[in-house]
C-alpha cells in the first residue's frame, strides 16, 4: 500500500450538515489509526478551531496544518510559522479607517475583533471559538512590541467594500499576499510564501521523513486546495467542490454532507 498519510480540508470537505464529523467518518479515521496512517487536518482555521474536530475523531496527537500552511504544529509546538509582516497588516487596517467592513486578526491561537458584530458571531458559531474583542489599533500596538505579524487576516462585509479592498491590495501587494475570496463577502489574506502544499512538505520533512508526496492522499473542495490536490499521489474532490477543483482531481467522491471523505478512505485505503 503506497498511501501512508491523509490530509484533509475541513470546511466544505470534511464536516456534515451539522458541521461535525459523522459516525462513518469517525469509523474510517479509527480504522486508519489502527493501521498507523495519520489523518491530518489542513485548513485556514486557527488551531483551537481544529482541536475539537481532532477530539471528535480521536486524533488529538496528530499534527495540525493551520492557516493554509502558515502555521504547522506537532505535539502542540510550532515547527513552522510564516506571518504577514506587521507593516502590511497596518496598511490593511488603514483601509478600514472608517470601519466600513469587519476585520479579524489572527496570530497563533489568538483571534481579535473590534466588536461582536454579525460577522464575528457567524465565525464564532461556525468554528466554535470565541474571539477577543480589542481595537485594531491596540492589537497592532501590542504586536509591534511583541514583534508579531498576522498568520491570517479576514475581511468581511458588503461586496462593494471588499471589491475596493481587493483592487487596492492586488495593485500594491499581489507579490506578498495571498488574497483568497471564497465568497463576495469574504477576503482571506495570508502570506504569499505559504500554501497547503508548503504545509504538507514542511510536515513531511519534519515529522515523516520516510514519506513523500507519492504516499499522500488529500481531500478538498475549493480553490486553495487545487495545488495540494494536484501534487499528492491521490487528490480527491468532494462532489460539492468548485468546478475547477473537480476538473483537476484524480477522483471525485460524494459530497461532504454525504460522507464523501469516509467513502473515499474506504475506497483508496483498504
Residues 186 and 104 in one domain: yes
What Å distances lie between residue 38 and 32, 209, 238, CA to CA? 7, 14, 20
User: Can you tell me the distance from the alpha carbon of 208 to that of 264, in angstroms, rounded to the nearest whole number?
Assistant: 23
Q: Give pLDDT tens digits for 88-143.
A: 999 999 999 888 999 999 999 999 999 999 999 999 999 999 999 999 999 999 99
pLDDT, position 183: 86
pLDDT, position 1: 57
Q: Give pLDDT tens digits for 181-229.
A: 888 999 999 999 999 999 999 999 999 999 999 999 999 999 999 999 9
Count of CB atoms within 10 A of residue 221's CB? Answer: 25
How many domains, the chain?
A: 2
CATH of the domain at 45: 3.40.50.1000
When pLDDT is averaged across residues 9-19 and rounded to a whole number, the result is 95
Residues 205 and 261 in one domain: yes
Domain membership of residue 181 as a residue range: 86-191
How do beta strands 152-156 and 102-107 pair? antiparallel
How far from each other are the two terminal CA atoms of the chain, in whole angstroms?
Answer: 8
Q: What rounded mean pLDDT belongs to the chain? A: 96
* Closest to 143 measured CA to CA, from 193, 88, 61: 88
Domain boundary among 141, 157, 191: 191
User: Can you tell me the distance from the alpha carbon of 104 to that of 125, in angstroms, rounded to the nearest whole number?
Assistant: 15
Residues 264 and 203 in one domain: yes
CATH of the domain at 173: 3.30.1240.10
Q: Are 260 and 253 in contact (CB under 8 A)?
A: yes
Q: Give pLDDT tens digits for 24-46.
A: 999 999 999 999 999 999 999 99
Grade residue 270 by pLDDT with cuts at 50, 70 and 90.
confident
pLDDT, position 205: 97
Amino acid at each position: 500500500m503506497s498511501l501512508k498519510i491523509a490530509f484533509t480540508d475541513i470546511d466544505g470537505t470534511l464536516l456534515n450538515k451539522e458541521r461535525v464529523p459523522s459516525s462513518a467518518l469517525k469509523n474510517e479515521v479509527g480504522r486508519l489509526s489502527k493501521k498507523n496512517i495519520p489523518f491530518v487536518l489542513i485548513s485556514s482555521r486557527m488551531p483551537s478551531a481544529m482541536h475539537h474536530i481532532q477530539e471528535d475523531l480521536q486524533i488529538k496527537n496528530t499534527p495540525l496544518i493551520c492557516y493554509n500552511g502558515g502555521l504547522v504544529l506537532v505535539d502542540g509546538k510550532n515547527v513552522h510559522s510564516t506571518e504577514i509582516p506587521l507593516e502590511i497588516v497596518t496598511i490593511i487596517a488603514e483601509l478600514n479607517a472608517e470601519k466600513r467592513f469587519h476585520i479579524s486578526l489572527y496570530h497563533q491561537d489568538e483571534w481579535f475583533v473590534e466588536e461582536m458584530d454579525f460577522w464575528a458571531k457567524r465565525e464564532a458559531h461556525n468554528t466554535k471559538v470565541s474571539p477577543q474583542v480589542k481595537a485594531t489599533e491596540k492589537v497592532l500596538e501590542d504586536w509591534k512590541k511583541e514583534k508579531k505579524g498576522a498568520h491570517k487576516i479576514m475581511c468581511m462585509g458588503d461586496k462593494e467594500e471588499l471589491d475596493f479592498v481587493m483592487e487596492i491590495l492586488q495593485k500594491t501587494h499581489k507579490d506578498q499576499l495571498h488574497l483568497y475570496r471564497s465568497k463576495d463577502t469574504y477576503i482571506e489574506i495570508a502570506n504569499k510564501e505559504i500554501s497547503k502544499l508548503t504545509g504538507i512538505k514542511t510536515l513531511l520533512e519534519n515529522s515523516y521523513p520516510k514519506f513523500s508526496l507519492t504516499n499522500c492522499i488529500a481531500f478538498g473542495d475549493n480553490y486553495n486546495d487545487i495545488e495540494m490536490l494536484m501534487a499528492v499521489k491521490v487528490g480527491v474532490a468532494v462532489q460539492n467542490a468548485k468546478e475547477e477543483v473537480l476538473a483537476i482531481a484524480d477522483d471525485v467522491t460524494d459530497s461532504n454532507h454525504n460522507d464523501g471523505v469516509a467513502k473515499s478512505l474506504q475506497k483508496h485505503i483498504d
